[in-house]
Amino acid sequence: MTVSSPASGEEGPGAVAARLTGRAVTGVRPLSGPLAEVVLDDGRTVVVKRAEDAQAARAEAAGLRWLAEAGAPPVPCVHGREGAWLVLDRVAEGRPGPEAARRFGSELAGLHAAGAPAFGAPPPGGPVAAFIGLAPMRNVTGDDWPVWYAEHRVLPYLRRAVDEGTMDPGEADVVERVCARLPDLAGPAEPPARLHGDLWNGNVLWGADGRVRVIDPAAHGGHRETDLAMLALFGCPLLDAVLEGYQDVAPLAEGWRARVGVHQLFPLLVHAVLFGRGYAVQALAVARSALSS
């Protein structure tokens, strides 16, 4: 999730942290924009951030709590939300390591196994009109993954990319043909998994204690291979070790490697909408590869 500067005259992160934690504040260190570390009088440090709006903050808080209910991988504790403000635990960061990577993989398998009521199900208390980064993302439910994925995760961003001139209609037709073939390309049917939903490398924090934490979710019910495909797309360190740990707990269905590109269509089209033509070209290449398989 991105953050935005508070309006002129609006109170700062220190006052928000004091109110939502019930502790006095002894120090505030600005990070990026209105993201700040706040030191409390009991020695703890929390992170205060301001989302684009209250709905985005609500979605993030609900997503973090839903992921936390699964038990692992760990997420920052949500100390409170007020309007667009969130107060979260600070994560002391360390370095990637093979043991942490394998443990992260096994814990991610456990998160997915915690399940969801349906594909597209929002976290309890989370809004239907949610976000992935700065892009709107509607958590509309469905029971059939190929149909749901096409209608609610691929086509909305494809249409926007065409409307904004990032892709032309002929290119969009290639992606639409992938959507039409999804029942054949999706592999064996699986139950809805509890997804982080925006699991690129920047949302994976390697903790100083040797455990991996995940942040900034776009949590919803989905296909577990989507989270793993996003890790691969944006270069998660030690991904082979992460996958080894995952498969030790929950082996992936045969042919999963051939389906990675299908699952990457969603984040690539989101990025095409947000960041432009380069990601549209990647999405087109992935779609053509899927059609040729």
Which sequence positions are flagged as catalytic? 198
Phi, psi of 97 (to 5 degrees): -150, 155
Nearest C-alpha neighbor of 221 from the set 273, 149, 134: 149
Phi, psi of 90 (to 5 degrees): -85, 140
Residue 247 neighbours by CB distance under 10 Å: 14
Q: Report residue 14 as tokens.
A: 């220190």
Q: Which residue has the tokens 């594909």?
A: 119
CB–CB of 116/220 below 8 Å?
A: yes
Q: Which residue has the tokens 């006052």?
A: 15
CA distance 229 to 199: 9
Region for 245 from its dihedrals, namely left if φ exceeds 0, alpha if ψ lies in -120 to 50, beta otherwise: alpha
CA distance 79 to 274: 30
What angle in degrees, to the nearest 10, is found between the helix axes of 169-185 and 277-292?
40
CA distance 265 to 37: 35
